[in-house]
Amino acid sequence: MTAYIIRRLLFLIFVLFGVSVLIFGLLMTFSPERRAAVYVTTPQQAKDIPKLVKQYGLNDPVPIQYARWVKEVASGNLGWSLVAARPVAKAFWSYFPTTLELNLLASPLVIIVGIWLGTLAGVHRDTWIDHGTRIGAIVGWSLPTFLFALVLLMIFYGYYGLFPPGIISSDTSLWVINNPDKFTRYTGMYTIDGILNGHLWVTWDALNHLVLPVLTQVIVVVALLMRVMRSGMLEELSRDYVITAKAKGADAHTINIKHARKNALIPVITVAGQLVALSMEGSIAVEVVFSRQGMGWWLAHSATQLDMPVLMSVCMFIGVVFVLSNLIIDIMYAYIDPRIQLQ
């Protein structure tokens, strides 16, 4: 087991290298002028493009540019994010909590609702409950996220003036800035900082701004989980032990909940990566529409505006998270299921 973990951690270095080379190579397909144009925002500045190419050495051979980047990163400098107008590391800590906050609230809801609906559909296979939940999920999922977000915004904020967009109201934000002694930004998440500082009305205000984003996020991601849960349930319900249990006269509820559902949960773990990816996609649209600048917004803008240092660093960060979470899942698997041996 230890050997396995060590091997996976060594593999992590390999992944980091691979990801950085891949993204770097992709970015190097842009002409040097195009990469210099990243620094240009007005027609006036365009005349300096050739000089910028020279200043930043964008015309040097690719390996030299890569080596330069590695040297900078090794000395702890991740680079400058033009999109965020901050060093990458600093910008990361200002955007990350926003996205984390959204997903901390959304994921338990996704898990609960997804498992519940999936079980329901699986147990009542081929009935109207099954078809209804499935079609409902497909409709929810096939609507582009941004569309759903905007419709919610129009109904609640447009009609009823409830749940405004943004991260927090400007009054609260001002109060927080003007009272640094009363309110410390421990985590960068207003909901949690509000509790930690004992100012629950701040938490309440932040939650008010989170209702619609969380709702959107849940609806986008829940369909996938539901689908996996449903097929897991179907598989389990056809197994021998269920049939045996039935034969023994166990009631349907016990079978469904006590036996089948628990086992059906296992495949859910395998799609965890996919869930994270979906949440990412959801975050981008949610953050743009509800004006909550977080990681999704930052990455999308960096990708479309060629913010190289951000793409490199954040993709590597995600790579690390990905490898580590897979490792944890593997260990969990081995822990749960003694038949699996890690080697």
DSSP class per residue in 81-128: ETTTTEEHHHHHHHHHHHHHHHHHHHHHHHHHHHHHHHHHHHHTTTSH
Minimum distance of another protein from residue 30's CB (angstroms): 6
Map the footprint of another protein across residues 230-289, applying CB under 8 A.
Answer: 231, 234-235, 238, 262-263, 265-266, 269, 273, 277, 280-281, 284-285, 288-289
Among 4, 24, 37, 342, which residue interacts with another protein (rule: CB under 8 A)? 37
Q: Segment near another protein (CB under 8 A), from 45-53, 63-71, 248-256?
A: 45-53
Q: Which stretch binds another protein (CB under 8 A): 63-71, 143-151, 248-256?
A: 143-151
Question: Does 305 interact with another protein (rule: CB under 8 A)?
Answer: yes
CB 230 within 8 A of CB 223: no
Please state the φ and ψ torsions of residue 127, each to the nearest 5 degrees. -100, 180
Q: Among 138, 184, 244, 252, which residue sits at the site for another protein (rule: CB under 8 A)?
A: 138
First to last CA, the chain: 7
- β-bridge mates for residue 86, sequence order: 81
Site map (CB under 8 A) of another protein, residues 146-175, x = contact: xx--xx-xx--xxx-x--xxxx--xxxxxx
Q: Shortest gap between Cβ of 297 and another protein (angstroms)?
A: 8
Query: What type of residue is 90?
Result: K
22 in contact with another protein (CB under 8 A): yes
Q: Which two tokens stand for residue 197?
A: 């500082």
For residue 340, state whether it binds another protein (rule: CB under 8 A): no
Distance CA 317, CA 322 (A): 9
Closest CA to 84 of 335, 301, 303: 301
- Return the residues of window 200-229 that contact another protein according to CB under 8 A: 200-201, 203-205, 207
Q: Single out the residue of 166, 185, 173, 16 nearest to residue 93, CA to CA.
A: 185
The reply on whether position 139 binds another protein by CB under 8 A is yes
Rule CB under 8 A: choose which of 5, 26, 252, 340 binds another protein. 26
Is residue 192 a contact residue for another protein (CB under 8 A)? yes
Cβ partners under 8 Å of residue 117, min gap 6: 133, 137, 222, 226, 229
Is residue 52 within 8 A of residue 82, CB to CB? The reply is no
Of residues 283, 298, 296, the one with CA closest to residue 90: 298
- Cβ(275)–Cβ(224) under 8 Å? yes
**Binder among 89, 306, 327, 342 for another protein (CB under 8 A):** 306
Quick check: 343 binds another protein (CB under 8 A)?
A: no
- Minimum CB separation of residue 113 from another protein in Å reads 11
Residue 330 Cβ vs another protein, minimum distance, rounded to whole Å: 13
- Which region, judged by CB under 8 A, interacts with another protein, from 64-72, 248-256, 307-315? 307-315
Shortest distance in whole angstroms from residue 218 CB to another protein: 12
- Whichever of 70 and 135 has its CB closer to another protein, that residue is 135
> Does position 127 bind another protein by CB under 8 A?
no
> What sign for the dihedral angle of Cα 140, 142, 148, 151?
negative
Site for another protein in 54-73 (CB under 8 A): 54-56
